[in-house]
Amino acid sequence: MFAIQNLKTWVKDDKNIDVALPFSLLRPRIRKEPLGAVLIIGTYNFPVQLNICPLIGAIAAGCTAVVKPSENAPATAMVLTRIIEGYLDPESYRIVNGAIPETTALLDEKWNKILYTGGVNVARIISKKAAETLTPVCLELGGKNPAFVTSHADLRLAARRLLWGKTLNAGQVCVSHNYVLIERALVKPFIKFLQESYVDFFPKGARESPDFCRIINTQHFDRMKRMLDSSRGQIVLGGGTDRDDLYIAPTAVLVESEDDVMVQEESFGPIWAILPYDNIDDAIAVANATDSTPLALMAFGSQAENEKVLSGVTSGGATLNDAFMHAAVHTFPFGGVGYSGNGSYRGEASFDCFTHRRTVAETPGWADKIFRVRYMPYLESELKMSQWLGDVKPDFDRDGRQTFGLKSVVGSVLRVGSDSGTGALFRWTIIGVGSWLIYDRSWV
């Protein structure tokens, strides 16, 4: 509904362009146009949302699209197939089911853009293939996401919210935390609060709860089980597993080194590490050494501490005093940075993702009187006037002190508070009309 309610605004030409005053006569604008045919490759952990949300953006932008859902969620893929084939124009929107051979065949085609959600290794393959035809890509990947907990945090609330982040969808969430960096003195009470929250969530245990799901397949179960078996840490919560049931309990492992497998590998499941630190600078250093561009970051501390973490660690998105709530707002842009991806979608960002912003200028015939300077022969007087009108010089000297020259003062007056030439013309028009209405009473 958000796209339907806002589409008329999104598709309008962008005319609020900051240009020098003379160039505002060219009616500069940015026209929104569809990129063309796009390929959307989804994944299994949220198989409806991660296929449909980008498709909504493609439709809103006016693109045609092919959707390739994950073969690891076949039941949902069949539902999506019935919806897309039953309700969308088959000449414009198609769905292709299958595994690696089908995906490979799709990548052999020429696309105007590819959006992929998944892991880094497959993203490299897609990017390499797209580069052959200079096809732009939007990559939504994962990362070893850190959570920071300081002495200024509400420890009980931090434990409860972080446990929720690892029990929702059995932790198979790309923005859930991979490890918790916590002040050393807080470790014991934090674990106690984790255990209490676990009992609150699952009075009969997670295995018996209808609210706790299972791991997607044996491949991912075995990968997480190897992580737990290889860790040198101490299990302080959970630890239960059952391969036949694809069950792994919410499991926290207390580790003493950032080199532990629980920190160094992305779990993408209900298991995570707790790593003590002595000061916040050490914690930031560990996070940057582990994964310098995670998809998400969570910080529980004072405002100053949270700001320090945000400034010290780059991430695709961040949530303060909670677990990945920035990703819960479906109108927010969602995307990664560096190894966690590039580009973003959801909300208006979905429309922008599949839109070409085409710059347009329209020169009226009479404008040659103003722009005569561009024609030869070049006259020195006209060149000086053109430079005076068009050049923007810094309003500070070499020592960084702000200066107010004649041009800056005149420019400020002429702009009447506007940041653009178009805005200045509009404001002067209002001033002129207002002055005429005040001094010419004949209209009364």
Tokens in use for 261?
């497998």
Helix intervals (H) in 291-418: 303-312, 348-353, 380-390, 406-415
pTM of the model: 0.87
* Pair 187, 254: CB distance under 8 Å: yes
Q: How far apart are CA 416 and CA 430, in angstroms?
A: 11
Q: Residue 311: which pLDDT band, with cuts at 50, 70 and 90?
A: very high
Q: What is the pLDDT of residue 194?
A: 98
Q: Which residues of 75-86 are buried (b: 16+ CB within 10 A; e: fewer)?
A: ebbeebbeebee
Annotation marks residue 140 as catalytic: yes
Q: Residue 392: which pLDDT band, with cuts at 50, 70 and 90?
A: low
* Pair 316, 346: CB distance under 8 Å: no
pLDDT digits (tens, 9 = 90+) for 228-277: 999 999 999 999 999 999 999 999 999 999 999 999 999 999 999 999 99
* Pair 176, 143: CB distance under 8 Å: no
Residue 412, pLDDT above cutoff 90? no
Closest by CA to 291, choosing from 338, 343, 252, 256, is 338
Closest by CA to 278, choosing from 151, 114, 110, 391, is 151
Q: How far apart are CA 23 and CA 353, in angstroms?
A: 29
- Among the residue ranges 24-28, 35-39, 188-192, 422-426, the one predicted with the least confidence is 422-426
Q: How far apart are CA 287 and CA 175, in angstroms?
A: 15
Q: What is the pLDDT of residue 404?
A: 65
Q: How far apart are CA 38 and CA 275, in angstroms?
A: 43
Average pLDDT over the chain, rounded to an integer? 92
Q: How far apart are CA 359 and CA 63, in angstroms?
A: 19
Delimit the CATH 3.40.605.10 region(s) of the chain: 2-141+349-359
Q: How far apart are CA 434 and CA 99, in angstroms?
A: 67
> Following CA atoms 97, 98, 101, 102 in sequence, which dihedral angle do they give, to the nearest 10 degrees?
0
Sequence-distant (6+) residues with CB within 8 A of 179 are 144, 146, 147, 255, 262, 263, 272, 273, 274, 275, 290
| Superfamily of domain 2-141+349-359, CATH level 4 | Aldehyde Dehydrogenase; Chain A, domain 1 (3.40.605.10)
Active-site option among 138, 174, 305, 353: 174
pLDDT digits (tens, 9 = 90+) for 142-177: 999 999 999 999 999 999 999 999 999 999 999 999
Active-site option among 53, 63, 140, 353: 140
| Superfamily of domain 146-330, CATH level 4 | Aldehyde Dehydrogenase; Chain A, domain 2 (3.40.309.10)
pLDDT digits (tens, 9 = 90+) for 74-133: 999 999 999 999 999 999 999 999 999 999 999 999 999 999 999 999 999 999 999 999
CA distances to 74, 129, 212, 246, 262 from 48, rounded to whole Å, are: 12, 26, 19, 22, 30
Delimit the CATH 3.40.309.10 region(s) of the chain: 146-330
Q: Could you tell me where the beta strands, DSSP code E, fall in 155-304?
A: 179-183, 234-237, 241-242, 247-248, 251-254, 271-277, 296-300
Q: What is the pLDDT of residue 419?
A: 64
Q: What is the pLDDT of residue 435?
A: 73
Q: How far apart are CA 394 and CA 377, in angstroms?
A: 30
pLDDT digits (tens, 9 = 90+) for 328-360: 999 999 999 999 999 999 999 999 999 999 999
Residue 442, pLDDT above cutoff 90? no
**Percentage of the chain with pLDDT > 70?**
92
Most confident of 60-64, 379-383, 386-390: 60-64
Residue 388, pLDDT above cutoff 70? no
* Pair 79, 87: CB distance under 8 Å: no
